[in-house]
Structure 1
Amino acid sequence: MSQRPTEKVAFSLRNPAVRAWLYQIFAVLLLVACLGYLLHNTITNLTTRGITSGFDFLSRGAGFGIVQHLISFQEGDSYARVFVIGLLNTLLVSALCIVFASILGFIVGLGRLSDNWLIRKLCTCYIETFRNIPPLLQIFFWYFAVLRNMPGPKQSLSLFDTVFASNRGLYLPSPELAQGSIAGLLALLLAIVGIVMLKRYNRFHQIHTGKYWRVWPWYIVMLLVLPGLAHLLFGPALHWDIPALHGFNFRGGMVLIPELGALTLALSVYTSTFIAEVIRSGIQSVSHGQHEAARSLGLPNTVTLRQVILPQAMRVIIPPLTSQYLNIVKNSSLAAAIGYPDMVSLFAGTVLNQTGQAIETIAITMSVYLIISLLISFLMNIYNRRIALVER
């Protein structure tokens, strides 16, 4: 049989492959031209205004105070230290909101599936109310309508004369290291190691014998007895600095400013509504046959939920839950609206206005948010792979 001659692809605009390559080349050249124009325009404007680009401004003194800082700060410290303080404040409010929103969302999500009509309707009203109010308005509500209307320091609300709440903030006892701190830390680590070993042995025993021991009382005993012995033998590991009223305000201890409280409350309540729906949908995705099988074995509802339903629901819950955690970090930038000294308010706000280094400050802020989001996604993906069900 004679072979069919090989057809050559003609370089013609009628050829779809040629047109596709030309379109791609044109798109790349257009993108490069746009970026070049923006870069040239930026350099020209900076030169005209006498603004030098670069990151040398980070070493200059800030010259302003910060109401909340987790590390020491003076007005003469550098802008680089201002950036670190803003980053720590952002991480603080993000971590608090993630914890509180997760706990509240889990409780409300389970309440949506409750057999009790009143609990189910209350949880539904909670979700539909706070989910449909913009988070910025909720921040304003908690800050201006609630926290700022609390009594002053002299009429502050007190709990055991150690915790005080006023319109200046929440004052708490501050822990400080004492002479037995090293021994107390070692005792606590030893208790944690003992708990982990006991938990693994209990699981090994359950696999081989089918019997499960109730060991949580031993957890409490180890957490109390070992640090207690260290306290008796080597002295207290911590002593507490109790806040006290002096003049028109409190001194000593540590304070959670109203801006932090309003931001934490608003973002926790707002995000918990979405997390509750994620929890509800994840649990409902598990086949009802799993509930019936656990019930036929005589398992209590709490054990069924913890050992049967949730492990299967987590593979559905984790991906959307990751998105909600990312939203918390990004929504924390709304702190600038009430003056909370987060990274956006300090670095992309005050520092930008003082130095005029708009490109550098905005680029650093955007890069940090990107890194934080990617790190959260990375850690959640690792956890998701660990709990994923391996199908045969």
Structure 2
Amino acid sequence: MESLSAAILLVEEESSASQNAGVRIERRRLRDMCDPFQMNDGLFKKNFRLNKDAFKYVLDAFAEETTASTLSSLSPLNIVVSALRFFAEGSYQHGVGADHNVGMAQSTVSKWLSNFLEIMQQKLCPQWIKYEQSEIEKQEAKQNFFTKAGFPGVIMCVDGTHIKLIKPSNEPFLYYNRKGFYSINAMVVCDHKLRIRSIDARYPGCNHDAHVWGLSKLRCYMERRYREGERNTWLLGDAGYPLQPWLMTPYRSVSQGSRQSNYNIKHSKTRNIIERTIGVLKNRFRCLLGARELHYSPQKASQIINVVCALHNICIFYKVEDLNTIEFDNESRQEEEEEEQTNDPEFTSTANRIRDNILSSL
């Protein structure tokens, strides 16, 4: 009887091994057959969010940093396809791996997504996300923002957005935000062309927008430029940010119809481009949508946010149209105004004077 049971178990194990081998063979066959460039342009963009020229650029950039010895049975194309499918849909890794364009096991998707993120964060982010602007770029931005609402001197706009996470294993209380979920509070800065000029996704969701701004490299850069004599250039931020000579915020507690109210209207109209930028980013790369939430550690989630911001700018460079907001969910940017703020005593009076001067010019 024992020998019969052992024989049955052996047959079952052999059958399972045979099935697993068959699955691996089928997955490899699917990968070998897959040629995403055979898709028409519309379907290609829907699947990968990049057009073919942008995809080839990313593929070449990734391939330059990989070698045949590190890829085993996977090509750079396989890895880029799987990563972009995940960014585009925000599906679980198992679902991405089962996609007929991917053909990978969940563990394989996880391994190579990590590899892709490491390489692309080092290679793409420094090249495609830069807050430094030439004088020509600044003048172009100022002219564009002024034409929009008559608000002078603006080169960029800033806002924070919460990227939802599963509950982190370490110090989860830091990531639990005032809205009642776990997140990273990512600071996004854009210019007049919806390009992301700065992204800071290092801080847990409990942190206030003003705190993230206060620790950012961009704030230090703007202060340094101010001390060096730049006096007519600033960012726009909402009421949650501190008023500074290089960061203009709205007046608080204004009367309807007052000059301060008019200032706030023009300020809001000029600044809403950052809300649109965040909306386009999340619509394009749905892994960032709150309905999906990132099932990764905060460190890896930060890498994902950084890389998709670089991809967003690549899409703009290669003229990839915005996604159809009817077809794709449009996550609302109706964030509650932050009430906390920390003004810098050294610059408060100067910043107030600058804002009052702008008010007088409107």
Q: Give the TM-score category using the shorter length.
A: under 0.3
* Higher fraction of helix: 1
Query: Which structure's CA Rg is the greater one?
Result: 1
TM-score normalised by the chain length of structure 2: 0.20
Q: Which structure exhibits the higher relative contact order, with contacts defined as CA atoms closer than 8 Å and separated by 6 or more residues?
A: 1
